[in-house]
């Protein structure tokens, strides 16, 4: 399985600001995903980060609020824009497979975001 | 709409007890069912099940899939306090690799 790191591991932000979360994998992977876990809730997929093209967003999530980049097969960023307290969550990056095959999904250590 | 339902939502047991966690699903183009353990932030992968009736085992944990009943169970025998966590069930579709998660079961093992 791939080794996944996320930065920052946690942050406390003011409402109206933006935060960019980084996800780095130690090997090339086929698929990268961003999930959100609000307090007391399960995981919800925000978007699939596609290498070299725009991310594919799930219903209820839009690019203006959660812009995503994936410049290569080992790295992706998620930005949480114009934050409000409702954005307080754990944000998780996950990967599926080592290029060019797919495998089960593994998760990064997560970023705990608190918006005041 | 795809749906994954876990039960019970929470469970409190004593060390040494055996527990069974349930997961049922309704998804189109089912590919696999996955179990994860979440203690702090990151879910840790436990099992991936694709075939019905074949038990997967890792130490005191085991899991089996029933495609006819659209369900899976996760068993933990001789529970320890370190098993306290949220156990998440997720289903993967053949049309893509996105996962749909259940609400999770919060397991608490008391000494």
Question: How many domains would you assign to chain A?
Answer: 1
Q: Domain coordinates of chain B in residue numbers?
A: 3-105
Q: Which CATH class is domain B3-105?
A: mainly beta
Q: A96: burial class by Cβ within 10 Å (0-12, 13-18, 19+)?
A: buried
CA atoms within 13 A on the CB side of A75: 5
Q: Give me the domain span that covers residue A98.
A: 18-109
Residues on chain A bordering chain B, Cβ-to-Cβ distance under 8 angstroms: 1, 30-31, 33, 41-45, 48, 58, 90, 92, 94, 96-97, 102, 104-110, 112
Work out the mean pLDDT of chain B and round it to a whole number.
Answer: 93
pLDDT surpassing 70 at residue A101 = no
DSSP conformational letter for B78: S
Rounded Cα distance between B88 and B38, Å, is: 7
Q: What is the C-alpha to C-alpha distance for residues B68 and A17, in angstroms, rounded to an integer?
A: 49
Do B45 and A112 make contact, defined as CB atoms within 8 angstroms? no
- Residue B68 contacts A, CB cutoff 8 Å: no
CA–CA gap between residue A57 and residue B60 (Å, rounded): 38
Q: Does B42 touch chain A (CB under 8 A)?
A: yes
Q: For residue A103, is pLDDT > 90?
A: no
Query: Each residue of A44-99: pLDDT tens digit?
Result: 999 999 888 889 999 999 999 999 999 999 999 999 999 999 999 999 999 886 55
Cβ neighbours around B18 below 10 Å, total: 11
Residue-wise pLDDT tens digits, A3-52: 899 999 999 999 999 999 999 999 888 789 999 999 989 999 999 998 88
Residue A11 located in a structural domain: no
Please tell me the distance in Å from B89's CA to the nearest CA on chain A: 10
Pairing of strands A19-25, A29-37: unpaired
Place of tokens 């969550």: A89
């Amino acid at each position: 399985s791939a080794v996944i790191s996320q930065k920052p591991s946690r942050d406390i932000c003011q409402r109206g600001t933006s935060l960019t979360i980084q996800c780095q994998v130690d090997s090339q992977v086929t698929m990268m995903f961003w999930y959100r876990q609000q307090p007391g809730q399960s995981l919800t997929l925000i978007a699939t980060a596609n290498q070299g093209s725009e991310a594919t967003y799930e219903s209820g999530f839009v690019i203006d609020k959660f812009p995503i980049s994936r410049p290569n097969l080992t790295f992706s960023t998620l930005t949480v824009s114009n934050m409000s307290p409702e954005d307080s969550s754990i944000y998780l990056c996950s990967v599926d497979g080592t290029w060019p095959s797919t495998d089960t999904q593994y998760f990064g250590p997560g970023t705990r975001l608190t918006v005041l | 709409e795809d749906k994954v339902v876990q039960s019970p939502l929470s469970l409190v047991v004593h060390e040494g007890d055996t527990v069974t966690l349930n997961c049922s699903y309704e998804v189109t183009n089912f590919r696999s069912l996955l179990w994860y353990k979440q203690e702090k932030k990151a879910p840790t992968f436990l099992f991936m099940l694709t075939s019905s009736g074949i038990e997967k085992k890792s130490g005191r944990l085991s899991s089996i899939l029933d495609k006819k009943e659209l369900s899976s169970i996760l068993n933990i025998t001789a529970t320890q306090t370190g098993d306290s966590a949220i156990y998440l069930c997720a289903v993967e579709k053949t049309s893509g690799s996105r996962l749909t998660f259940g609400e999770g079961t919060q397991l608490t093992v008391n000494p």
